[in-house]
Structure 1
Amino acid sequence: MAPGVNTTDPLALSVHGNNPQNLLETITRQKIYACRYWKEICFGLDANGVMSKGVDLKYAGSTFGPAHQPSPFICLILKLLQISPDIDIIFKYIKQTEFKYLRVLGLFYLRLVGSTYDIYNHLETTLTDYRKFVVRKPVAIGEAQWEVRTVDDFIWELLNDEEGYVLGMSLPRLPKREVLEASHKLRKVDDKRRKSELRGDKRVKEIVKHKRRMERIEKGLLKEDDEPASKKKKGVGLFKKEKEEGKGAGAGAEDKAPKADSVEFWNEERKKLGLSELKSK
């Protein structure tokens, strides 16, 4: 049976012992129910419909402006809470790599309703996503409303924010990884392996750094022939070292060559002409 306009699907399981929609504050829910996007766009959506709307998102956020208007992002979050799709569908939102806002939508929803194991497992394995996305902040008049963030930083905040308050919304409490490792609920990962798996290897970071540099060149903030000072310094030092090594090698060769007035020198010349060697006295 399909749920009513604002009621939770009767087949939906409770989350943390509550109605899933109650994970959002009452005042926020009421504003969402009253907004045009909820009434016109979210009406009748299923999980596939939410996915198509998630692909079209231009920014993430909760509410904005003096009237605290709900963003399309938070409207879709509430819709997911209302219909409570199978968790495997949310995993697909997260695993796909083409649409970053759909991934962010899935990550935030999973942080709200997921089990501790699923949250750590799926959020940590996505930490190598360094793409930028836009956040609209719930700020006062006169303050900057827009913020550019990266997906990996957003995930770290979802996992580690001590206040549990992300995008202007309160999140359920999440136990620390160390506690879960000690109770054997999560596989323990050593620091070196964790850095490699979760934060990406050096090659990935270099690729990201190169992409950001190319973006700055396209915007005219950097000239194409400009190189980082560290790279220039390294290049000069390397060239200087090679030059010194070459100079040293040449000097060694000159020291080994026989002098023109020596018997060895003339013996080499006679050998080239097919003559017998001179006898040294």
Structure 2
Amino acid sequence: MASHRADASTLLDNRGYSGPLIRGINPATLFEKAVRDRITDSYYWKEQCFGLNAATICDRAVELTSIGGTYGVSEKPTPFLCLAFKMLQLNPERDIILEYLNYTDPGSDNETAEAPAENGVVKTRGDFKYLRALAAFYVRLTFEPVEVYKTLEPLLVDYRKLKRRVRDSFVLTYMDQFVDDLLTKDRVCGTSLWKLPPRQQLEDLDLLDERVSPLADELEELDKDSDEGDHASEAGSRRSMSAG
């Protein structure tokens, strides 16, 4: 057991911590102490997370079947949360995180065309949706505000289903809803998130371009059809009145 704890001891020891910082702080402190303790005491952490690196953590992540924070009366940490904490320990480079977001099984026969990459993020694919969700959660925890928006917003057109583990059951959600929660909420998956500046504030500072909704063209077309329908209806009414 001591050897398993040693895998996290350097990260958790604030007194002598000298590793990489995230926004000037020890990455471990991005999770509350109670959650950290539950993670490092859990069976999944000791048996499945010990010795993982930036490559082998993918093997664990592709086995995930749900997202979530803690569950049960004793508030056990989900595998999703344990792997997120492991990523804080590993502190992968940005390019590796983008690989997680877009990871495709080399043996996959899926030939569906992918949407064009935006800010390095392929919008709709990546065979392993829970690996993508894990990477998105890590982005929200660790990236700077502008990069959070630029990296996560392309995922708002990924509408795949996700299972989310709650206290005593599972509920259905969707990738775009999960990403929207990351962009708009201060607590997700049992974790308090640092305050993300409103998008409008970053636009006003010229740090972000105005976001165009992916549904904008469809809405414009609907408005056009509606206007044409109204004009046709008015013309029909006038003809009826004239005939009368």
* TM-score class, shorter: 0.7 to 0.9
TM-score of the superposition, structure 1-length normalised? Answer: 0.63
Distance 2:73 2:203 in 1: 44
From 51, 57, 72, give the equivalent of 2:58. Answer: 51
Distance 1:70 1:85 in 2: 22
Distance 2:173 2:216 in 1: 18
* Paired position in structure 2 for 1:82: 89
* Paired position in structure 2 for 1:217: none
* Paired position in structure 2 for 1:93: 100
* Paired position in structure 2 for 1:173: 195
SS in 2 for 1:8: helix
Distance 2:155 2:30 in 1: 24
From 151, 167, 172, give the equivalent of 1:122. Answer: 151
Structure 2 residue identity aligned to 1:26: K
From 153, 170, 188, give the equivalent of 1:146. Answer: 170
* Paired position in structure 1 for 2:223: none
SS in 2 for 1:147: strand
Q: What fraction of aligned residue pairs are identical, expressed as a percent? A: 37
* Structure 2, unaligned runs of 5 or more: 104-125, 219-244
The within-5 A match list for 1:198-209 is: 202=218
* Paired position in structure 1 for 2:111: none
Distance 2:28 2:131 in 1: 20
CA shift, 1:15, in A, is 1.2
- Pairs aligned (count): 188
Distance 2:148 2:102 in 1: 13
Distance 2:6 2:205 in 1: 42
Higher relative contact order (CA 8 A, sep 6+): 2
Distance 1:200 1:113 in 2: 30
Structure 1 residue identity aligned to 2:87: L
CA shift, 1:12, in A, is 4.2
Kept in 2: contact 1:133–1:148 (CA 8 A): yes
Runs of 4+ with >4 A deviation: 9-12, 199-202
Kept in 2: contact 1:61–1:74 (CA 8 A): yes
Kept in 1: contact 2:159–2:176 (CA 8 A): yes
* Paired position in structure 2 for 1:183: 205
Whichever of the two has the greater Rg, that structure is 1
Q: Deviations over 1:234-281 (max 9, x none)?
A: xxxxxxxxxxxxxxxxxxxxxxxxxxxxxxxxxxxxxxxxxxxxxxxx
SS in 2 for 1:173: coil
Kept in 1: contact 2:81–2:189 (CA 8 A): no
Q: Deviations over 1:169-196 (max 9, x none)?
A: 111110011000000111223xxxx112
